[in-house]
Amino acid sequence: MASVGDSDLYRVPAVKPPTSEYLRELSQSMGLQCTDVDLGVYLEHITGTLRGYDRISQLVGPSLPVKYPRTPGYRPSPVENTLNGWYWKCDIKGSDNGRLSGKTIGIKDNVAVAGVPMTNGSKLLEGYTPEFDATVVTRILDAGGRILGKTNCEDLCMCGSSFTNVTGPTLNPHDRSRSSGGSSSGSAALVAVGEIDMAIGGDQGGSIRIPASWCGIVGLKPTFGLVPYTGACPIEITIDHLGPMARTVYDCALLLEVISGPDGINDSRQSSTFHVPEYTKQLKTEMAGKKIALITEGFACCEQNVQNVVRETALKLTTKGAVVEEISIPLHKDGVAVWYTIALEGAYNCLYKGNGTGYHWKGYYPSSMQEALTRGFHLRPQDMSETFKGAVLFGAFIQKNYQNKFYSKAQNLNMMLTAAYNKVLEEYDVLLMPTLTSVAPELPKQDSTLKERLKADSGMDVNCMPFNCTGHPAISINAGRSLDGLPIGMMLVGRHFHEVSVLQIAYAYEQLQNN
């Protein structure tokens, strides 16, 4: 009797072989000048090679673990979602005890939670439900955390404001006419109003620190590779970060402890050799002798009221014995150009052409997410957000005319930028500057133009972007408020894998404010 695995039974081929006519047209379009005899040989060779693709299709690949039971949850009504911070509500309980026992957590909607719908803020992923938990989700549940849902984020995380999500804008808890910041908009807004204790955010160009600043909470972009990105939708694999968001530095440090550390063969962004300290046990330290560098270029790009508040805040640390000095890093101004070149071309190749996963890196590829994005990009391209359409158009133009010439040079210049920061950090414990150039602006109105909406999407995060490229840890903590009562963030940047320094100084300032 034949079995399902019987090799003599007919199987639909994984890839339908090309016809001779198709190969001829392809050869002509690529200028390969193949003869008909050549094409016959190549067709035979291709058909043989495709047998390996048949076998790849038959084999069952590994999946990330799902360790804790859950129900799918539900899409909340506006009555229980007044800021539009939630995409989906659920209630997933983890271990009975652990470092996060009693803590409630929101997960940014670009991070997979098994059995819970996921859109990454976009129409393109509507109807997709992951069958796996991202590594950070498993670690949170293992530590006793309780996940209350998926927090809204900007469409494919391609916006620094909070108006591109498919469900509508996420509102700033301090002024509902204003942006909460993006792309981790829902995470920041919900933490700020106390609906959750902490949240996972994602940061490719400031997307943890922007909403943290405008919502008045604490948000940390860790060192590149400290926190595994496994199971999250990327933009460009050299600038992708996941990190903690919370109301206090202690809770931010606590969540960082839980989610940090190597993920084995799953994530090649990571080194397998680093050690994760217990950050919460090292927060209290003497400020005497700590050296803080105010970066001239990081202040000069900001509105005057933002500069004033952050300078006054920085100087308060001198009352605890810290040394605060202003220095110049001229290359900081060029970090924006480096970021745009890497991020836009990288997004085109990784997120768009690579269908949300990209190519040429070792690790776990979330294939179901890739399939869902593939369908979205090809069946509903008109439903891409305006910001992503702009990125795709630009990326296609550059690739067609210049290939990777400028991307490569930007990555090389990034080494110079990294070295410039590292040189200063040899003498100083942290770099300090405003997180953003301004306070939260008003959200675009219904009758706004495309030009106005694209302008509202960018420009606020010129201080954030460089550190996504260089990978330094950077935390945003509330420095105070503007005259009209809006939060203003202060950013501290430290040495690679030295989150302890930025957390200690942020904690010292937080205690100074609370006393």
Looking at the annotation, which residues are catalytic?
108, 183, 207
**SS3 for 491?**
strand
| Angstrom distances, CA of residue 34 to CA of 19, 21, 23, 71, 243 | 15, 12, 9, 57, 52
User: Which value, to the nearest 10 degrees, does the dihedral of the CA atoms of residues 229, 233, 235, 237 take?
Assistant: 30
The candidate with the shortest Cα–Cα distance to 451, out of 498, 405, 390, 403, is: 390
The backbone torsions φ and ψ at residue 319, rounded to the nearest 5 degrees and listed phi first, read -65, -20
CB 368 within 8 A of CB 499: no
Question: What DSSP string describes 363-412?
Answer: B---HHHHHHHHHHHHH-GGGS-HHHHHHHHHHHHHHHHHTTHHHHHHHH
SS (H, E, C) 423-441: HHHCCCCEEEEECCCCCCC
How, if at all, do strands 198-203 and 104-108 pair? parallel
Angle at 171 between CA 485 and CA 141, to 5 degrees: 110
Two tokens, residue 214: 């405008």
- Quote the tokens at residue 425: 């950090």
